[in-house]
Structure 1
Amino acid sequence: MDSTTGTALTASATDVKRLSNAFCHAKLLLTAGELGLFEDLEQHGPSTQEELSARVGLHARAARDFLHGLVLLGLLDLEGDRYRNSRAASATLVPGAPDYIGGFLHRANHMLYPAWAKLTDAVTSGRPQTAGAKDAGAFLRMLGDPAQRGQYLQMMDSANGLVAPHLAEAYDWRQVGDVLDVGGCRGNLVSQLLLRFPGLKASVYDLAPLAGAFAEHTERLGVADRATFHAGDFFAETPLPVTADVVVMGHVLHNWSPEQRAYLVKKAYAAVRPGGALLIYDAVLPEEPADLARTLVSLNMLLVTEGGSEYTAAECGRWLSEAGCQDVSTRPLGPTDTLIIGRR
């Protein structure tokens, strides 16, 4: 099977063996990220094996093979005896880069990689395989720990930062007065929209421990004068305490069971002012198996949540219909997500 498209291959024994070792490729990348190797090379420039090993702590027995593995993955370039970041690594794996996904790497390395080792248990029991998924207070305790909160914020920024440019093009924001991002974390998505559309105002509705991070982030990006944070729990408050021309729920619904999604969609749609729209995006599943990456995201949700998974556009359309929406449209949102628009 082609790991990028999910299409079937006429596989030899060698192909199947290579597929069985695909986790090795991922761990090379995740370990390099954990060691800060890409950031180090960006800072110090092309370096020999010995120089790089001394700075990031590679053992002499492992260094050559480890670095050559990263070269063969296309993450490092080797010129003579010096290694440097490839163009792709510089663009995505160095803090401050436009498409930085370091938050993804941390989550994959410390949460998903161990959880996938328990996939057999997950697919036979239907239960998550991470401790936090079974502990209702674990998420709030994580937000209360500055180090863990920082890693979580980076992960969320990595996710919505890639979506924001596509969302800016997928909807006519010039006709919108204000937008509410439900579950919008520290406001990175709406901040990107505010930077692009000077006439727009924005709010984020999320848990109270994120209020300080929201204030700092929007101030740093220069949009604090047009951004407001509303603290609350979207399962506890009915209706939502704020309305807007456009309400966004991105990478939210896949965390919850189908019954909870229907409930959240109804509440979010009720917060849309007449003439506005509810924008929902996730790695929405096709009706037939055609996208391996999205299927893997859905399995991730099995491993780390009590009831979450990805869902189809038709399922989301039913939740919108139950909420009273009669005008639903769907369109791609970049390479990894789908946007579902419910107009009011």
Structure 2
Amino acid sequence: MMADRVPPMRLGAIPDGLVERIGLLLGKVPTPIGEAMYSMPVARSLQVAQRTGILGALAEGPRDPAELAEHLGLQAKGTVRVLDVIATLGHVKQNPDGTYEMTASGRRWLDPRSDTYLGDFLADTYEYWDWYAGLEDLVRDGKHVELHEKAADDPYWQSYIRGQYQLARLSSAEVAKAIPLAKGAHSVLDVAGAHGEFSMALCRQHEGMRATIVDLPGSARVGEEIVAEAGMAERVRHLVGDMFQVDYDGHYDAALCFNIIHHLSPEQIRALFQRIRAVLRPGAPLCVLDLYDREGGQRANLASILGLFFHLTSGADTYTTDEVSRWMGESGYGSVEIKSLRTLPDLRLLVAKAV
């Protein structure tokens, strides 16, 4: 069953005024120049402003740029230039007295006091810069990054997992409502669940629900911190280890497999689905949330950029919903329902019950 699709997001030039709109429509605007030249300073300015504390300081109130630079140990001219770039995005603004402050829309995402704060994710994208420097190697030789092979004590895990947690908070309530649990269900297995936000959302919506998260040591260590900070440690536990090897320790009423299959080969995906099926009670749903490849004939969209990112950082690929549905069927599951989500318009949730 296919749910109504949410229109995909698109990336492109936005005209400022009638003349630019007409020029864009007539093909007179050299958009490749802007796409290649301006996307880099925009991304790096945001990343640097987050890492240096500029955004955190502006979240506290208006600041004189020279005083702000001195307070943070930065150079004044470079600080102003970065602030001006971010101002063009609407996240900060310059006041008539020369001070800069965070806008209301900027505070929604960049103020640490906001429930929708994404600062850790923004800081984590700083790592992407070096990865994309190897894009030509990927295209020419197939050389890719293995972002999950870092040592368990590498500081990267903090920004990576906390950033993913901040993203998950934006959609976890809707996702939890979309998961069909049988009456009396009380246990869920969350494979590669890391931060645990999706498991915690299920626990918040279902009294008596308990979750078991399986993930690698570096990821699980940060995830345990996040769960404890949320006051959910008594209901959400982590099993540390490789999802293909660790004992799942029990039988479950549902299983989550979110944002992981794009890092796996088809053979690995089937093996994972089969491992999960072995610990699911009959009728329990396997829920697979991911970005799926477009079907033949569909145009590329913003999700295609994520598809490239996944290929760059694992060497694997995105798959169509038909492919993954078939692998679920081959692994011991019934018919697959495909659900669209308002808060995750480029992703799909595939649900099939264990038979």
TM-score by length of 1: 0.86
The amino acid of 1:123's aligned partner reads V
- Tell me if structure 2 keeps the 8 A contact 1:30–1:106: yes
The one of 42, 58, 62 equivalent to 1:46 is 62
Contact 2:188 2:256 in 1 (8 A): yes
Structure 1 residue 211: Cα displacement? 5.2
**What residue identity is the alignment partner of 2:162?**
Q
Q: Distance in 2 between matches of 1:151 and 1:179?
A: 26
Q: Distance in 2 between matches of 1:155 and 1:70?
A: 20
> Shift of the alpha carbon at 1:118?
2.3
* Native 8 Å contact 1:245 1:273 kept in 2: yes
Say whether 1:5 aligns with 2:10. yes
Q: Does 1:325 align with 2:333?
A: yes
Match of 2:161 in 1: 153
CA contact (8 A) 1:298 1:309 kept: yes
* DSSP-derived class of the 1:274 partner: coil
* Cα distance, 1:162 vs structure 2: 2.8
Q: What displacement does 1:181 show?
A: 0.6
Deviations 1:292-330 (CA, angstroms, capped at 9, x unpaired): 32211111122221x322221111111101112221011
Instruction: Tell me the equivalent position of 2:192.
Output: 183
Deviation of the 1:6 alpha carbon: 4.9
Give yes or no for contact 2:64–2:99 (8 Å, CA) kept in 1. yes
1:170-207 alpha-carbon deviations (Å, 9 max, x no partner):
22458332211111114232123323333322111223
Taking the aligned partners of 1:329 and 1:170, their CA distance within structure 2 comes to 11
Change (3 A) 1:85 1:290: farther
What one-letter code is carried by the residue in structure 2 that aligns with 1:28? S
SS in 2 for 1:225: coil
Greater relative contact order (CA < 8 Å, ≥ 6 in sequence): 2
1:341 to 325, 333, 351: 351
Q: Do 2:186 and 2:253's aligned partners in 1 also have CA atoms closer than 8 Å?
A: yes
RMSD between aligned residues: 2.6
Greater Cα shift, 287-296 or 248-257: 287-296
Q: How does 1:1-344 map to 2 (within 5 A)?
A: 4-6=9-11, 11-21=27-37, 22-43=39-60, 45-80=61-96, 81-110=98-127, 112-128=128-144, 130=145, 132=146, 138-139=149-150, 141=151, 143-145=152-154, 147-173=155-181, 175=183, 176-208=185-217, 212-237=221-246, 240-287=248-295, 288-305=297-314, 307-333=315-341, 334-344=344-354
> Which amino acid in structure 2 is aligned with residue 122 of structure 1?
L
Q: Which amino acid aligns with 1:105?
A: L
Structure 1 unaligned spans of 5+: none
Residue-pair matches, total? 330
Secondary structure of the corresponding residue to residue 234 of structure 2: helix
CA contact (8 A) 1:206 1:231 kept: yes
Residues 96 and 261 from structure 1, CA distance in 2 versus in 1: closer, same or farther, beyond 3 angstroms?
A: farther
**CA–CA distance in structure 2, aligned partners of residues 291 and 162 of structure 1:** 25
TM value normalised by structure 2? 0.83
Alignment match, 2:3: none
AA in 1 matched with 2:103: S
Listed one character per residue, the Cα deviations across residues 271-292 of structure 1 (whole Å, up to 9, x for unaligned) are 3211210011112222144453
Q: What is the deviation of 1:154?
A: 1.1
1:8-46 CA-to-partner distances (Å, cap 9, x unmatched) read 975434322111222222122112112122111112x11
Once the two structures are TM-superposed, the CA of residue 161 in structure 1 deviates from its matched residue by 2.4
Q: Give the structure with the higher percent strand.
A: 1
Q: 1:66 to 1:234 in 2, by over 3 A?
A: closer
SS of 1:122's equivalent in the other structure is helix
